[in-house]
Amino acid sequence: MNMLKIVAVPMHPEGRKFVAVFATITGALSFVWMPLFWLGVGATVWCYYFFRDPVRVIPQQPGLVMSPADGVISLIEEVKPPTDLGLGAEPVIRVSVFMNAF
């Protein structure tokens, strides 16, 4: 396994502005106090990994259900959909996915 592929994961384009803000603040912190700079480096790296967008291999078999997010399925239940969605009054299955920010 190539270590560079693990560390340098592609980032979603929407995250670039957030990482840029974190990096700018980190640069300013280097002039204030060096320990704050290192905390800023850690926060910038965390922000980068929060917006990671790794290449995915999606199985193409009929009958599979794929999750829209990385996480843990926390609840599967039958509920009535909200009226503003226009899905009718029939109960539908809701799958809740818990995503940890870390």
pLDDT tens-digit readout, 16-59: 999 999 999 999 999 999 999 999 999 999 999 888 887 778 88
**pTM attached to this predicted model:** 0.62
Given this model, what pLDDT does residue 50 score?
A: 87
Give the model's confidence band at 69: pLDDT under 50 very low, under 70 low, under 90 confident, else very high.
confident
Distance CA 77, CA 72 (A): 15
Given this model, what pLDDT does residue 24 score?
A: 97
Contact criterion met (CB below 8 Å) for 22 and 40: yes
Distance CA 83, CA 79 (A): 12
Question: Which tops the pLDDT comparison, 25 or 7?
Answer: 25
Give the model's confidence band at 102: pLDDT under 50 very low, under 70 low, under 90 confident, else very high.
low
Q: Residue 31 phi/psi, 5° resolution?
A: -85, -20
Integer angstrom CA distances of residue 85 from 80, 82, 88, 90: 11, 6, 8, 12
Sequence-ordered strand ranges (E) for the chain: 72-79, 92-98
Judged by DSSP in three states, 45 sits in: helix
In the predicted structure, residue 78 carries a pLDDT above the cut 60: yes
